[in-house]
Amino acid sequence: MARAMANEVREGRGAGPNKDYVLLDLTHLEPAVIDAKLPDITEFARTYLGVEPYTEPVPVFPTAHYAMGGIPTNIKAEVLRDNDTVVPGLYAAGECACVSVHGANRLGTNSLLDINVFGKRAGIYAVEYAKDAKFVDVPEDAIAETVKLIEHMRNATGTEKIAVIRKELQDTMDKNAQVYRTEESLNEALDKIKELRKRYEHIQVQDRGMRFNTDLLEAIELGFLLDLAEVLAFTARERRESRGGHFREDYETRDDEKFMVHSMAYKTESDIKIDWKPVTITNYPPMERKY
């Protein structure tokens, strides 16, 4: 669906003055059906676009609303350091985690499955672990690194604005790592991220306060966004095939021989190192999607 919508716009058949969206026509549905099944989304159309979905088509376009991939875990929600070594006592579940229930594309509503099932499992196994886990010795300076990061940011007096860098990051990811990707577009994204990282070193934080400092929060978050964007673009580039939600125009078909694997990304001093983890297939072998 997302690909079909993006394709219409790309090939110049989009609607509106900038031809940058498509129209969703619900007018064949009874108002009562619309109210019962789509109350929120139709209210958005009314509030933000001034469009009445009973009688008018609604401008729509795909946007990111889920991050596939994340912190690798096993089915006990235990965080993995590599393909199979558990980090004792650390759990992840939900959108931040990747236990891989979604395969190569999350289907609608399945993120709630992820939260319910693996959130609960994380709780169960964390309790079990805590029962006989011993406190480990914490070094004197355990918080030093975090305090340093926060204090460094809080006092940052550079010239680069948080919102400007973030917008440029959003724009490059939107343009180059969205529904359609190529080696070239992903390289463009990676180059841009590198540039933004340099500029991020000269970030400006205006709020020096110690309480409820959202300026500082946004600055720190931006650093992590840059990390995540880089991992995403990097692993997408290395996966030279198309599969699930990942569509490469330069490699349009699925390549099970090379890429029936999970991408595992490791941060090194200067770069990202990529490794692969085999997919365990049990009852349901992946099949090509045909409609």
Partner 1 sequence: MSTAVESVKEIAEVPSFQVTLFVRRFDPENDAEPKWQDFDVTVFGTDRVLDALHKIKWELDGSLTFRRSCAHGVCGSDAMRINGRNRLACKTLIKDLDITQPIYVEPIKGLKVEKDLVVDMNPFYQAYRDVKPFLIASDSPTKERIQSPEDRARFDDTTKCILCAACTTSCPVFWTDNQYFGPAAIVNAHRFIFDSRDEAAEVRLDILNDKEGVWRCRTTFNCTEACPRGIEVTKAIAEVKQAVLRGRA
Ligand X SMILES: Cc1cc2nc3c(=O)[nH]c(=O)nc-3n(C[C@H](O)[C@H](O)[C@H](O)COP(=O)(O)OP(=O)(O)OC[C@H]3O[C@@H](n4cnc5c(N)ncnc54)[C@H](O)[C@@H]3O)c2cc1C
Q: Could you please report the per-residue DSSP string of 238-276?
A: H--S-BTTBEETTB-S--HHHHSEEEEEEE-SSSEEEEE
Among 1, 28, 30, 65, binds ligand X (CB under 6 A): 65
Is 95 among the residues that bind ligand X (CB under 6 A)? Answer: yes
Angle at 183 between CA 179 and CA 189, to 5 degrees: 70
Nearer CB in complex with ligand X: 108/285: 108
Give the shortest CB-210-to-partner 1 separation in angstroms: 7
Is 34 among the residues that bind partner 1 (CB under 8 A)? Answer: no
Cα 150 to chain centroid distance, Å, stands at 24
The four Cα atoms 256, 273, 237, 261 give a dihedral, to 10 degrees, of 20
Pick out residues in 173-212 that bind partner 1 (CB under 8 A): 204-207, 209-212
111 touches, from ligand X, partner 1, none (C-beta below 5 to 8 Å by class): ligand X
Residue 137 has which token pair?
Answer: 């010795």
Is 112 among the residues that bind partner 1 (CB under 8 A)? Answer: no
Contacts of 184 (CB under 8 A, 6+ apart): 250
Is 66 among the residues that bind ligand X (CB under 6 A)? Answer: yes
47 touches, from partner 1, ligand X, none (C-beta below 5 to 8 Å by class): partner 1
How many residues belong to the site for ligand X (CB under 6 A)? 11
Is 59 among the residues that bind partner 1 (CB under 8 A)? Answer: yes
Among 18, 109, 146, 268, binds ligand X (CB under 6 A): 109
Measured distance CA(26)–CA(29) in Å, rounded: 6
Q: Could you please report the per-residue DSSP string of 215-231?
A: HHHHHHHHHHHHHHHHH
Give the nearest residue (CB) to ligand X: 94
